[in-house]
Amino acid sequence: MFAPAFGFYEGTALADKTFHGFRLNNVDGNLTIDTIDDDSMVVSLPSENVIDPDAYKHWFWTADTVAFRWGDNGHLLMEML
């Protein structure tokens, strides 16, 4: 499979990619973004048909460096560097 030089990665060779996972706290609404680029944490994706309030709501892998910041209108902005 062709591996893009940049952007989101949809293949299966993920060892050299960085994982970004988004969690939303159901109690207080806080957003947490986990960035995993080594073997210090395990990536545990949610199971299909199982509702887990602590599971990732969205995730992606990329070879790019990604910066997150809040915009003036309260939206989360993501910049691929």
- β partners of residue 69: 77
- In 3D space, the residue among 54, 69, 47, 70 whose CA is nearest the CA of residue 21 turns out to be 54
pLDDT value at residue 1? 43
- 71 secondary structure, DSSP code: -
Tell me what percent of the chain is helix, strand and coil, each rounded to the nearest 5.
Answer: 0, 35, 65
- Pairwise CA distance, residues 61 & 16, whole Å: 10
pLDDT in tens, 4-54: 455 666 666 677 788 999 999 989 989 999 999 887 788 888 888 888 888
Mean pLDDT of 59-78: 90
Domain range annotation of the chain = 14-38+57-81
The pLDDT value given to residue 5: 52
